[in-house]
Amino acid sequence: MLTYNEFIELNEDMQTQLLSLEGVCLEVSRNSRKFHIELYSLYGFYCEIYFNKENEEPMYLRSFKNLKNLDPYLESIDVGELLRIMEEGL
C-alpha cells in the first residue's frame, strides 16, 4: 500500500496501472464540456480518470485527498436506498 505522496511521485503509467489493479470504482461520474470523469478510491485517497467524450480514450488522471473535491459528485449520489434501509431498520 502506498501513501498519497508516494502515489503522486509515480509516473502516470504506473499510477494508471496501480489504479486499475487496486482502485475501487465508486460508480459516480460527472461531465465537463470535453470530458467524462469517473471517480475511484485508492488507499484512502481519490482519483479521477478524465475520458475524452469524443473517442472515450482516457486522457489523464487526477488524484486528491481533500474531500472538498468530492462536491461535484454529491448531486449524482442517490441516498434513497440508504434512507429506506434506515427507516426499515434493515
pLDDT tens for 13-44 read 999 999 999 999 998 999 999 999 999 999 99
Looking at the structure of the chain, the number of domains it has is 1
Q: Give me the percent of the chain exceeding a pLDDT of 90.
A: 78
For position 84, what pLDDT does the model report?
A: 75
pLDDT tens for residues 53-90?
A: 999 999 999 999 999 999 998 877 776 766 777 788 65
> What's the predicted TM-score (pTM) here?
0.82
> To which residue does cell 502516470 refer?
12
Domain that holds residue 48: 4-88
